[in-house]
Structure 1
Amino acid sequence: MQGRDLLLIISVMAIWGFNFSMIKLGVSELDPLLIAAARFACATFPIIFFIRKPDVPWRYLIAYGLVFGTGIWGMASCSITFGLSSGMAAVLLQTDVLTTVLVGVLLYKEVISSRMAAGILISLMGLVVSIFYTNGNVTLAGVAFIMLAAICWPLAGVILRSSGTRAPFAFNIWGMLFAPLPLMALSIAMNGWGVLSATYQQWGADAWISVLFQAYPTTLFGYWVWNKMLLKYPMSQLAPMTLLVSVFALLSGYAIYDEQLSLAQWISCSTFLLGIALVLYPQRNKTPGESDRKLPAASQDRAEASVP
């Protein structure tokens, strides 16, 4: 990998990690679902007028907007509102690697190698310890919401793959068009119509900073760079880089909010990420003429759909 590209990728991982602190900035006082809705509204307009609609049926775009907007980032935002620290939210969202493997086994008939099985076992052990040895930065409600987000992540990848699109960036932009309304509808269903006026009255500088950072550096710039790198390098080389998101999220959470991990959590989070790394580095099966390691199909879906 070229040094310039490596630096660019690490910069995007830093932005994506810092994004969790920006989510917390917005949801600390305002409804998380409406913050997420505003994020996708800003990320969609006005750029959608300059991006041609991908040649796929509308049902795929609608489904993607619902799963990606509400299922992943609506639930992830709620997890922070319900007591999960921004750093721990980023770490536990890596559970999507495990749910992606499960989807690969069920839908694509993939086989779990012994190395991947060991990684899954190690990561689950780390996950359990990090949840139970909390110092107040992990709540059951927060974990429930982040697990919903992790379950929805591979579903977004399945939708992307099933659509057959050759323009993932355009697909993402047009799919996000259908994210705000379901998020708003869910917020109203949970809180009543008064949540709209309350959010409008309380909207301030922190909300704007949170939403605009999530929409532009995180979503548009980050995904644009990631898409370019996917075209240039094998996914087996890029996917493990996403582990840096958790590292940067923990650092930014500490720097901005003084979020602390207990000693047991530092060890368990390291163990968890080590297990995830083993899953993302599947054992190579050498064949004549093979030059690159390839991720399983489900993991490729995850890499293509990943944008915090």
Structure 2
Amino acid sequence: MSPRDVVLTLFVMVIWGVNFAVAKYGLREFSPMLLMCLRFAMVAVMLVPFVRIPWGQMKGILVLSVLLGGLHFPLMFTGLTKVDAAAASIAIQLQVPFSSLLAALLYKDKLGWRRGLGMAISFAGVMVIAGEPRAMGGGFYLGLVVIAALIFSVVNIQIRRIGSISGFALNGWMAALAAPQLLIVSLLTETGQIEMIRSSTWVGWSSIAYMAILVTIVSYAIWYRLVRRYQVNQTMPWTLLVPVFGVLSGILMLGEPLTPAMMVGGTLTLMGVAVIMIRKVPKQNQNQSAT
């Protein structure tokens, strides 16, 4: 990566890490599906009027809207209702071993024993977190976060398949397609939407604005470009920094405790992810990433 892209990637990781704590504030006032619906509606309103319709890529964007807006975020934020921001930011790192598995299946990328070991260690770390007495009641919700991690690894592959497109156009039309999906799901599975909107405070709306502007518009526009420009094994490893900022924001902003099980499980997960990341990209892949 170029120095400029390294700085941009670090900036994205900070935004994503803090987002776990910010989302918890939003979930105090809105249900998960309604929160995501409002988030993507805000994104669509801010971007769609200023970008062209990418007709040739709308099918791929529709698939992305289902994966990212219809599956990943709803699962992620439903999980966040019962899982600490710190635990969720660690569990979501399973997207790295999931990405390696998908690369092996789709691109015939050899895993090797080192990455296999890293996967086993990272999954063991999440199991330690899930087995913590304080988190036992939220095991199902932690599982939702794990599934969200799997879906996010598919999202990165789908972004590469869409091809060259403006990050703002991609974000805007993906949000425009995702918002109605989330509204339907919210109406079918949740109640009291009008009352939640009427009783919401500036804190809840600031949470939505953070997720819409900084996370979806700014950080994902940067991330989409990086994912298209570099190989998965060059971009995904940077997400290792997300739980660092996620844990810190959970402690500082929400007062979440850093328990021994969290420390052991988090360390194992990040160690496993690190083992997967420490891998030289083959020269052939490096040449392909520059095209």
Q: TM-score, normalised by structure 2?
A: 0.87
1:167 maps to which residue? 165
CA contact (8 A) 1:43 1:220 kept: yes
Q: Structure 1 CA distance, aligned partners of 2:57 and 2:4?
A: 37
CA contact (8 A) 1:43 1:219 kept: yes
2:253 maps to which residue? 256
Alpha carbons of structure 1 residues 77 and 3: separation in structure 2 relative to 1, 3 Å: same
Deviates more, 1:108-117 or 1:206-215: 108-117
Question: What amino acid is the match of 1:251?
Answer: L
Alpha carbons of structure 1 residues 142 and 181: separation in structure 2 relative to 1, 3 Å: same
RMSD (Å), alpha carbons = 2.7
For structure 1, which runs of at least 5 residues remain unmatched after alignment?
296-308
Question: What amino acid is the match of 1:166?
Answer: S
Q: Structure 2 CA distance, aligned partners of 1:195 and 1:32?
A: 12
CA contact (8 A) 2:159 2:224 kept: no
Alpha carbons of structure 1 residues 294 and 146: separation in structure 2 relative to 1, 3 Å: farther
2:220 maps to which residue? 223
CA contact (8 A) 1:20 1:86 kept: yes
Q: Where do 1:143-292 residues align within 5 Å? A: 143-163=142-162, 165-167=163-165, 169=167, 170-191=169-190, 194-227=191-224, 236-285=233-282, 292=286
Alpha carbons of structure 1 residues 143 and 291: separation in structure 2 relative to 1, 3 Å: closer
- 1:102 to partner: Cα distance: 2.8
Q: Structure 2 CA distance, aligned partners of 1:49 and 1:272?
A: 42
Deviates more, 1:3-12 or 1:25-34: 3-12
For structure 2, which runs of at least 5 residues remain unmatched after alignment?
none
Q: TM-score, normalised by structure 1?
A: 0.83
Alpha carbons of structure 1 residues 138 and 226: separation in structure 2 relative to 1, 3 Å: farther
1:132 maps to which residue? 131
Cα shift readout 1:15-64 (whole Å, capped 9, x = no counterpart): 11111111110112321111011111112222122222335343322221
Matched length:
288
Identical amino acids, percent of aligned pairs: 25
Question: What amino acid is the match of 1:51?
Answer: V
Alpha carbons of structure 1 residues 159 and 5: separation in structure 2 relative to 1, 3 Å: closer
Alpha carbons of structure 1 residues 127 and 58: separation in structure 2 relative to 1, 3 Å: same
- 1:230 to partner: Cα distance: 5.5
Cα shift readout 1:167-214 (whole Å, capped 9, x = no counterpart): 1613333222111111121121112xx432222222221221110000
